[in-house]
């Protein structure tokens, strides 16, 4: 299993690195609610984020997903976050946060950019005993024509996830879906290229003259159907010269969690 992640941390977040190394532990994931006037192609977007934190947590935003990770203390949770559009997968400019509630200060640990698949991360450290609700407004600008469009460059992680999602859907049918974690491990031509995305691309380009120019991607997610859910891992092989996913697969790693039996159609996740 690859050990390092490809997303960068600012110095502001260095105190979180050790705690966040245990991928997915103590994390909740949800889709944001839609504010009135929801428009995926608007030139400007904003979110009103509300989370309950006891001690230390980090909040990540990508697309229409909010990921709240407990670093220390009682389990953190979303408390009704809303957005006017998904955080664009492309063309995020002038990303700003403004705290409106919470007894301790929050910090922007990672701005969304091409290097981190347009994922923002906000660090929250509640220094007093017990928990508190933290609220902050997030705003950004995006080009109208590209805000909801695929990335202008070949996004190998998204392409891998799309291939895995397509295979999963063909096996499980309507009403089943995968929620992917926003980060993944990458291995290029047998060498770990964690860190700067452009540096990794440069390294791949230098290998184009050789016989191999392939990248392996590994990540995690949650599979859900109307009557059960399971954790999974996924993996892909990508031809980085042709910008093409060669293989995509997934494997279940956790126990089956049953839902409402009245929806049980006799089929389990496959």
Nearest Cα to Cα of residue 144 among 81, 83, 93, 82: 93
**Sequence ranges of the domains in the chain:** 15-141, 156-260
106 token code pair? 């929050």
Contacts 24+ apart (CB under 8 A), 58-61: 58/13, 58/16, 58/20, 58/109, 58/121, 58/122, 58/123, 58/124, 59/121, 59/122, 59/124, 60/119, 60/120, 60/121, 60/122, 60/182, 61/87, 61/112, 61/119, 61/120, 61/121, 61/122, 61/138
Cα torsion through 214, 21, 251, 160, rounded to 10: -40
What pLDDT score does 189 carry? 54
For residue 53, the cross-strand partners are: 132
What pLDDT score does 83 carry? 94
pLDDT tens, per residue, the chain with 270 residues? 333 343 333 333 333 333 333 333 467 878 889 999 888 888 899 999 999 999 889 998 988 888 898 888 899 988 899 999 999 877 788 999 999 999 998 999 989 887 777 889 999 998 888 889 999 999 999 865 544 444 445 677 878 888 898 888 888 876 777 888 867 888 765 555 444 344 344 444 444 444 457 889 999 988 887 778 889 999 999 887 787 889 999 999 878 887 654 444 446 777
Residue in the structure block whose two tokens are 């293989």: 247
Which residues are within 8 A (CB) of 40 and not within 5 positions of it... i.e. 6 or more apart? 85, 86, 147, 148
Domain spanning 15-141: CATH 2.60.40: yes
The one-character DSSP state at 143 is: -
Q: How far apart are the first and last CA of the chain?
A: 23
62 token code pair? 């990508």
Cα torsion through 172, 174, 175, 178, rounded to 10: 50
What pLDDT score does 133 carry? 93
pTM comes to: 0.50
* DSSP 3-state of 167: helix
**What phi and psi values does residue 12 have, to the nearest 5 degrees?**
-60, -25
């Amino acid at each position: 299993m690859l050990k390092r992640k490809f997303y960068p941390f600012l110095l502001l977040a260095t105190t979180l690195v050790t705690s966040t190394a245990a991928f997915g532990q103590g994390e909740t994931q949800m889709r944001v609610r839609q504010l009135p006037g929801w428009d995926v192609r608007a030139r400007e977007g904003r979110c009103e984020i509300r989370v309950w934190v006891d001690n230390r947590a980090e909040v990540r935003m990508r697309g229409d997903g909010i990921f709240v990770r407990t670093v220390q203390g009682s389990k953190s949770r979303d408390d009704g976050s809303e957005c006017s559009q998904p955080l664009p997968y492309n063309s995020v400019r002038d990303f700003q946060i403004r705290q409106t509630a919470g007894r301790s200060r929050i910090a922007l640990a990672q701005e969304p950019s091409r290097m981190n698949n347009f994922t923002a991360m906000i660090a929250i450290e509640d220094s007093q005993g017990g928990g508190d609700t933290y609220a902050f407004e997030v705003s950004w600008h995006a080009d109208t024509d590209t805000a909801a469009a695929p990335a202008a460059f070949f996004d190998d992680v998204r392409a891998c996830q799309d291939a895995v999602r397509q295979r999963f859907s063909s096996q499980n049918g309507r009403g089943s879906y995968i929620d992917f974690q926003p980060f993944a491990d990458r291995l290029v031509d047998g060498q770990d290229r964690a860190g700067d995305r452009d540096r990794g691309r440069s390294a791949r380009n230098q290998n184009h003259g050789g016989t191999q120019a392939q990248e392996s991607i590994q990540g995690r997610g949650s599979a859900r159907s109307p009557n059960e859910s399971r954790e999974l891992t996924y993996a892909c092989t990508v031809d980085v010269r042709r910008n093409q996913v060669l293989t995509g697969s997934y494997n279940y790693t956790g126990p089956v969690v049953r839902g409402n039996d009245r929806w049980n159609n006799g089929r389990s996740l496959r």
